[in-house]
Amino acid sequence: MRLALRLNLLLIAGVAAVAMGFAYYQVRSERRGLERDLQRQALDLAESQAKAVEPLLAAHSYKSLQAFVDRSAGRERLAGMMVSDTAGQPVAITSDLVARLNGKPPAILQVDGAEEARGEFIQLGGVRMHAAIAPVRAGETTIGTLAVFHDAAYIDTRVGDAWRRTLASVAFQTLLIAAVTLLTVRWGLGKPMQQMARWMRDLRTSSEAPAPELPGSGEFESFTREVSHLATSFTAARAAAEEEARLRESAESQWTKDRLRIFVQGRLGDSRLVVVSNREPYEHFHRASGIEWSVPASGLVTAQEPILRACAGTWIAQATGDADRETSDERGCLRVPPDHPQYTLRRVWLTEEEVKGFYLGFANEGLWPLCHIAHTRPTFRAEDWKQYEAVNRKFAAAVLREIRGEQDPVVLVQDYHFALMPKLIKKARPDARVAIFWHIPWPNPEAFGICPWQRELLEGLLGADLVGFHIQAHCNNFLETVDRVLESRIEWDRNAVMRHGHLTAVRRFPISVAMDPEQNGSSASSELQYLERAELLAKHGVRAAFMGIGVDRVDYTKGILERFRGLERFFEKYPAYRGEFTFVQIGAPSRSEIRRYHDFMLEVEQEAERINARFQTSEWKPIILLTRHHTREEILPYYRTADLCMVTSLHDGMNLVAKEYVATRSDGHGVLILSRFTGASHELVDALVVNPYDTEEVATAIHRALEMPPEKSRLRMSRMRAVVKEHNIYRWAGNLIAELCEIRTSATPAEQDAADTVLKS
Ligand code: GDG
């Protein structure tokens, strides 16, 4: 039976039952009220008439009595009167009553010596009557009775009318309720249900299925929310399946977020993915308006975030925001991204001393300059090394806690902050598959050799099953360094190190960006772009037809000063571009507690000021330097509209800014100027590759970029986009995890023997 019909029948039955009960009660009350009124009137009448007949009865004037009772006939509802003597014999009676009494007076008329008037309802000659009896008294003596009879049939008539009225009103109410229910069900429930059903059908049958306007509040709120979530997931799943099918059909090998997720699920099975890095992906800060979160400026974060989003898992990192504690649970955990949770971030707190020695000291004053050939001398302090060891142990303990009870967990350790961690984890959990990715360059053995703890660092790294670098040259440098420093067997043919029965594979995994649809720029027309660019510049009080962009942490390895000198030379050589071209440098402050970084920021600011002072006019300047942290959303319009992007690192593992710029240019415009000392220059060969130390070459590259015919720049951009699209971050993660899962977690006996032989010889 249909819902509306069932609901109606139930409601009608319910309403009818309640209305009938109520009506019964009302009718009964009415009957009682009428009977009470009649009884009262009859008794009053009987008593008064008894007093009136007393002298007549006492005088035995029966004729007068008969005349008296006859006069009563015709009064409203009065059926008659009867006067009886003390023996109960009628001495006067209304003629109509004689036939009704039919010789059998009812029991109430029996003389019982009662002194009070009394009354009751009786059946007389088939008619319902009320009889009221009053004693007729002469002084103290009862000399007879007087009975008054009223016709009570009108009470039944009135009660019948009341029943009819009530039944009519019940019928009307029932009809009304049924109609209201039908309308409510149809419009309030049926319509949204039908809309949802239609929407579900459209989702199932066509690719275009816009959401209908559904009730967003009240009883429907949670239902609407769940259905909307379901529809979104369904659309995303279908899009992914279609993309997969498309890729399979066209035999393309492109990696997507969904492909990575499915791949990782397949490879890891029930094993957990744990990523550990120093930098956390989301920091919470106290601001005037309350607690806010931000994404730090970090290539590592840019690269790892899409992987964690795709595969869930846990990211362990240092807590660096001043509101981090308030936003995590007692274990330091929270779900992130904060606006759309997809994976777990587990924060580890360090003391000031630990940060100073481990992070600022050994990692950033020691290892960072050691690995980058940028002519800043590394500083090694024994105290810093102690903290570096201690913090590595602290994070390793956090990882071990996280993977406790997990079978064959997979741990991806990130970067130069945690060189000792692979060994610490593998010692406690030989079944864990551990990889470490070194995001910065690895120098040649001579350069690395100046580190007093090079041996410990290498031993720590070789605890891993897999060590990854961006480019082959870094892998080679690493293998050569191991060869020089440690007793081990280097397997050059398969890029691996065998030591104490443990095999460490050394592989090249060029890191990248996501290039998801949401990272794509618009394909707005060139006029619109021109306007957007002009607006961006106008915000900084500048008018110019062309714009260049640079986005960096303010770090001495990024070649920012060299870039500015290249710009200065460009304006010297090509004065026509003065007033026409402006370069915007976004410089996120970084590691400012370190003196070298603090001084470097000042140098960058002074250099920009100096060059600006040389060329600027009232409406224009060559360099806009923005030295504050920007959100990704703030950076995007610059990437999207800049005529050129400059990456002039003196030495860089990869450099993701170059790839971000390319990924954003879905319009096909823009030219990338790229330092040959970046890992990215090995892949993005269609950039204008420069030596940042060569000021003349940089200036020429800027000129070439601005003068490049559109068809040429488009061709270059489309080739670079094809590279980034294919070699995206999902491929990077997929390759790394595939490689890690293929590695045996312990050496075969043959390998062990071979290694021992080498070591003995
Ligand atoms: C290391 C290696 C390797 C910059 N300013 C802001 C901001 N950024 C973002 C950029 C980009 C990232 O920071 C910097 O990327 P890099 O690749 O230049 O990275 P490093 O931090 O030096 O990272 C590097 C990388 O690891 C990955 O392996 O490529 O060679 O040195 O994504 O957009 N981001 C935000 N605000 C800023 O103000 N949100």
**Structure confidence at residue 756 (pLDDT):** 47
CB 216 within 8 A of CB 192: no
- Cβ contact 385:453 at 8 Å: yes
Instruction: Enumerate the domain spans of the chain.
Output: 2-157, 218-250, 255-343+390-396+403-514, 526-727
- CA of 660 from ligand 1 middle (Å) equals 10
Structure-block tokens of residue 599: 């001084």
Query: For residue 470, which atom of ligand 1 is closest to its CA?
Result: 28
- Amino acid found at 487: E
Contact 267, 738 (CB under 8 A): yes
pLDDT value of position 575? 98
Verify whether ligand 1 is closer than 6 Å to residue 654 (CB atom). yes
- Ligand 1 contact, 295 CB (< 6 A): yes
Q: To which CATH superfamily is domain 255-343+390-396+403-514 assigned?
A: Glycogen Phosphorylase B; (3.40.50.2000)
Residues contacting 151, CB < 8 A, separation 6+: 77, 78, 79, 127, 129
Residue 352: predicted pLDDT: 97
With the most atoms of ligand 1 within 8 angstroms of its CB, the residue from 373, 439, 675 to mutate is 439
Kindly give the distance from the C-alpha atom of residue 628 to the centroid of ligand 1, in angstroms, as a whole number: 14
pTM of the model: 0.69
CA-CA distances (angstroms) from residue 123 to 42, 127, 153? 16, 5, 10
> 526-727: which CATH architecture?
3-Layer(aba) Sandwich (3.40)
Amino acid at 225: R
Q: Is the peptide bond before 575 cis (omega within 30 degrees of 0)?
A: no
Distance 301 CA to ligand 1 centre (A): 8
Pocket test for ligand 1, best of 301, 302, 646 (most atoms within 8 A of CB): 302
Name the residue with tokens 């890690």.
Answer: 740
Residue-level pLDDT at 90: 86
- For ligand 1, is residue 294 a contact (CB within 6 Å)? no
- Residue 115 dihedral angles phi and psi, to the nearest 5°: -95, -10
2-157 with 526-727: one CATH topology? no
- The helix or strand, by DSSP H or E, that contains position 146, with its residue range, turns out to be strand 141-151
Q: So what's the pLDDT on residue 745?
A: 54
Q: Are the CB atoms for 578 and 571 separated by under 8 Å?
A: yes
Pull the structure tokens for residue 754: 């071979």
Which residues, other chains included, contact 432 with Cβ-Cβ below 8 Å and sequence gap of 6+? 403, 408, 409, 410, 411, 425, 426, 745
Q: What is the pLDDT of residue 755?
A: 41
Q: Say if ligand 1 is within 6 A of residue 158 CB.
A: no
Indicate which residue's Cα is closest to atom 18 of ligand 1: 655
Cβ proximity of 81 and 72 under 8 Å: yes
Q: How many other C-beta atoms can be found within 10 angstroms of the C-beta atom of residue 217?
A: 7
Q: Does domain 2-157 have CATH number 3.30.450.20?
A: yes
- Tokens in use for 328? 């995590």
Local mean pLDDT, 10-residue blocks, the chain (761 residues): 73 82 87 91 90 90 88 80 86 84 72 78 86 88 89 89 85 83 78 78 68 68 72 71 58 76 82 92 95 87 81 92 96 93 96 97 98 96 98 98 91 97 97 96 97 98 97 97 96 94 96 70 65 93 97 98 98 98 97 96 98 97 97 94 98 97 95 98 98 98 98 97 93 91 62 46 39
Is the C-beta atom of 629 inside 6 A of ligand 1?
Answer: yes
Distance 440 CA to ligand 1 centre (A): 12
Report the nearest atom of ligand 1 relative to the CA of 587: 5
- The dihedral through the CA atoms of 257, 260, 264, 266 has a sign that is positive
Mutate which of 417, 656, 659 for ligand 1? The one with the most ligand atoms within 8 Å of its CB, which is 656
Predicted local confidence at residue 682, as pLDDT = 97
- 333's enclosing H/E stretch is strand 333-336
Question: Which residue bears the tokens 């959990």?
Answer: 429
Residue 300: CB within 6 Å of ligand 1?
Answer: yes
Give the separation between CA 566 and CA 572, rounded to whole angstroms. 10
Strand pairing of 502-508 and 466-469?
A: parallel
